[in-house]
Amino acid sequence: MSLHYTFHPINSNPEPKRQGKGTVSQTQDNLSHWLGEKLANILLQVQGITFKDIEEIRLRIDRPFLLLGNHKEVFIDEQGSAVPPEKGYRIRREDILQALERMTQSSLYAAEEEMKQGFITLPGGHRVGITGEAILKQGQVQTLKHISALNIRVAKAVEGKAEHILPKLLSRDGSLYHTLILSPPRAGKTTLLRDLIRKISDGSPALHTRGQTVGVVDERRELAGMWQGIPAYDLGYRTDILDGCPKRMGINMLIRSMSPQVIAVDELGHPEDVEAVLDALRTGVKILSTAHASNLEEALSRPTLRVLFEAGVFERVVVLSRRHGPGTVEEVIVLHQEQECHRGKVREG
């Protein structure tokens, strides 16, 4: 089956039954609303797990219900108990389709547009990765059908991550150096980017910096978690957000209309992103961005990023890992126009 199925009003789905005697966390409760009744009831029964540490919920057809946290996997049975994988609740195709129906209720067309990239985004910034059979047209993915798995990546706002690192990203006059945050998946680059945006936007009395106007192009709807124009996350007093817009268009739109001092974007990687960033530099704005890579050498091996490095765009590179959990700052690299660099270790705390 594909996403072309019959929709029903969201309130026609029965409210999940809150079984069990334990306390249900807010995260648990919120996430249950995006699942079908069966999976929602299982999730609400889960006890003995700190949901603030849960990073992903994995749903694979005919595979056990899996919660994934920092260096920890928990397979769940029908009663919400942690069990060995062979005893876990087996996800049914019906569970996948019910979850998709809830997740895409607002706009099937918008969901299919996102699905071309292999994910959809929920209110609150939770990203749902999707796998299945790709439908191609002229070599391009048009949509997915026969959906086989969903990966709900739980978005979190963790304030305070930017405190110890921001001084290394600011010049003496308080302006931001052009900065790129590098990390492998699930290493906290989006969380750090959110907190940096907020600190730059609000200003910091402790650092003697004034607030700056920040323009955010939130192409994947993760940074702000916008819902009907209202952000789920605090990105600061002086931040303007363009939601769901491709970076190549959004950067230019914000520069023309909102006069930002800083442009923030997540996950650079497409050739169109490179052109947009290079155009933005000519207007004098500062660039704050992220990309997938485990280190500088890996980033330089990616052709699109290498163009930006060779153009001397970035002045600071922050490298993250999961060594001490998501958001571990491994080093801050100071880049010079001559392509030399100075690597500075950063102590946590």
Q: Which two tokens stand for residue 16?
A: 């999940």
The torsion angle over the Cα atoms of residues 267, 270, 274 and 276, rounded to 10 degrees, is -80
Q: By the 8 A CB rule, do 31 and 57 touch?
A: yes
* Residue owning tokens 């946290």: 69
Rounded Cα gap, residues 248 and 271, in angstroms: 9
Q: By the 8 A CB rule, do 74 and 82 touch?
A: yes
Surface-to-core class of residue 96, CB atoms within 10 Å of its CB (0-12 exposed, 13-18 middle, 19+ buried): buried
pLDDT at residue 159 in the model:
65
For the chain, give the longest Cα–Cα distance.
Answer: 63
Rounded Cα gap, residues 135 and 281, in angstroms: 38
pLDDT at residue 19 in the model:
45
Q: Which residues of the chain register pLDDT less than 70?
A: 1-24, 106-110, 113, 157-159, 337-349
pLDDT at residue 164 in the model:
86
Rounded Cα gap, residues 127 and 151, in angstroms: 8
Alpha carbons within 13 angstroms on the beta-carbon side of residue 339 total: 8
| Degrees to nearest 5, angle at CA 295 with 290 and 301 | 85
pLDDT at residue 9 in the model:
35
pLDDT at residue 158 in the model:
63
Q: By the 8 A CB rule, do 327 and 187 touch?
A: yes
pLDDT at residue 49 in the model:
79
Rounded Cα gap, residues 58 and 152, in angstroms: 6
Q: Which of 154, 192, 134 is nearest to 3 (CA)?
A: 134
Sign of the alpha-carbon dihedral angle for 73, 79, 84, 86: negative
Rounded Cα gap, residues 174 and 157, in angstroms: 25
| pTM, full prediction | 0.72
The H-assigned helical ranges of the chain are 26-32, 37-45, 93-103, 108-115, 189-202, 247-258, 271-281, 296-300, 303-310
